[in-house]
Amino acid sequence: MVDLPYSIEVPAVGGMERRPWPSWGPQALLCFWLARCACGIGVNWGTQASHPLPPSTAVEMLRASGIDKVKLFDAEAAPLSALANSGIQVMVGIPNGMLAGLAAEEKAARRWVAKNVSDYVDDGVDVRYVAVGNEPFLAAHNESYLSTTLPALQNIQAALSAAGLSDRVKATIPLNADVYRSSTNKPSDGDFRADIHDLMLSIAGFLSLNGSPFTVNIYPFISLYDDPNFPIDYAFFDGSSSSIADGSLTYSNVFDANHDTLVAALRRNGFGNLSIIVGEIGWPTDGDMNANPQLAQRFNQGFVDHIASGNGTPLRPGNVDAYLFSLVDEDRKSIDAGHFETHWGIFAYDGIPKYELRRLRAPTNNSSNGSSLVGAKNVEYLDRRWCVLKPWVSLDDTRIGPSVGYACGRADCTSLGYKTSCADLDVRGNISYAFNSYYQENDQDGRACVFSGLAVVTEEDPSNSTCRFEIMIDLGAMSSMNTVGVNVFMLYVILPLLTMTLG
């Protein structure tokens, strides 16, 4: 193992300065972190959906499924409030667009922490981490966040310290796995990318000094998606004919190899004891030929079992802390990276489990396999009606192309395509799917099922065994249900307490 550095750069008044490691060293920080973390499986909860589940419903779904850790991408009030006193640990996120402001002024960081961490901690939210940015060093960002990410991290950690929260809440940066690589494809030769090498050492050093974890997003599916020659069985955890030999170690899956490339990079640069969180990992269920529920279950169950074994990876044996991506499908996510981007959920948009997923919670005496996914309760839907192409419209009608383009430009048509869930639809079916997606996105407004006179509303479900023509959640009804729940709580719990107190 590479020796640890004798000193490290830390923020100070007027800039940076080098200070010696504390006498108790980073090893003690790692032990402290391991003692306080609930290592295991959590889930990312994204909210880029046109018809999201009410946060209280989603939290009950999490608890019923045995998921006790959640990672948020923003400090949205409704999800955070719903997580109060839930027993679920929280990593709350800061979007990349906020990094510049937080980097420029420590007062801004203090205001952010006061509003989005301190207040919620006081209200019973178990905040454990602040995620400063999300994959800020991706090539797609054109170096936009290179100069602001570390200062923002430093200011947020300083703000946590000023608020008296630094012992329980740690700041980290969720980074894409492209920040490190191996010139030989062997994990043991891992190192940080040359263009950000010094920056990565400063970040790793700051994380180590503050007892914070290094957070990395690892996506075997993307490896397969980007490379048609990638051996598909190497993406999974049930054995591979494409194993990699690295000295005395053998890697039979790409997750272990990728993870240990990071471990090697950290060791090589003197941070071999820095704890690691896998911030995102998962498999989509639609939008690509390799994205379906069968492969998603194979991957996610294999990963959960791999983590539950407690064996870790060849270079980092022991527990692994990880968050599956993601909780539910998000139909308003950007599809720039691929049509699969709206289909990462282990639950559909309405909280229906897509497949069985066991061992998210430790087994009990009554269950040898731990809990499985439990769907959302009392979900209210819009009326059972769909928008489809009129049967008598000719496929040669010149209005069809622009109408489909308009619908799919404003709604989610990513289930249409080669070897997707709706690949077996005929031409009329494809057009109807596009029309219906737009119609449902707009809450079944009659004006959303016109399309120059080409469309008609039907009460006959056009879905088939693999292709589901969605009916969206009735947001108004769900909101009313939550209001009723609050009113009942006030009537039967709060008012009697007030009466006793005043009496």
> What does the pLDDT look like over 361-371, one tens digit per residue?
655 445 445 56
pLDDT above 90: residue 493 = no
Q: Is 135 a catalytic residue?
A: yes
Task: Give the residue from 308, 288, 476, 458 showing the smallest Cα distance to 384.
Answer: 458
Percent above pLDDT 70 for the chain: 85
Bigger pLDDT: 177 or 9? 177
Which entry of 17, 60, 76, 135 is annotated as an active-site residue?
A: 135
Q: Mean pLDDT, the chain, as a whole number?
A: 89
pLDDT above 60: residue 478 = yes
At 323, the pLDDT band (50, 70, 90 cuts) reads very high
Q: What are the Cα distances from residue 321, in Å, to 234, 280, 405?
A: 22, 11, 43
Q: What does 117-130 look like in DSSP terms, one character per residue? A: IIHHHHTT-EEEEE
Lowest model confidence (mean pLDDT) among 77-91, 251-265, 398-412, 465-479: 465-479
- Sign of the CA dihedral running 92, 59, 35, 249: negative
Q: What are phi and psi of 34, to 5 degrees?
A: -65, -35
Q: Is 330 a catalytic residue?
A: no
pLDDT above 70: residue 404 = yes
At 459, the pLDDT band (50, 70, 90 cuts) reads very high
- Tens of pLDDT along 250-305? 999 999 999 999 999 999 999 999 999 999 999 999 999 999 999 999 999 999 99
Which entry of 17, 106, 280, 459 is annotated as an active-site residue?
A: 280
What local confidence, expressed as pLDDT, does residue 168 receive? Answer: 97
What local confidence, expressed as pLDDT, does residue 239 receive? Answer: 83
- Tens of pLDDT along 16-37? 444 444 433 444 444 444 434 4
At 470, the pLDDT band (50, 70, 90 cuts) reads very high
The CA-CA-CA angle for residues 319, 321, 322, to 5°, reads: 135
Helix (H, G, I), strand (E, B) or coil at 52: coil
What local confidence, expressed as pLDDT, does residue 371 receive? Answer: 64
The CA-CA-CA angle for residues 165, 170, 172, to 5°, reads: 150
pLDDT above 60: residue 78 = yes
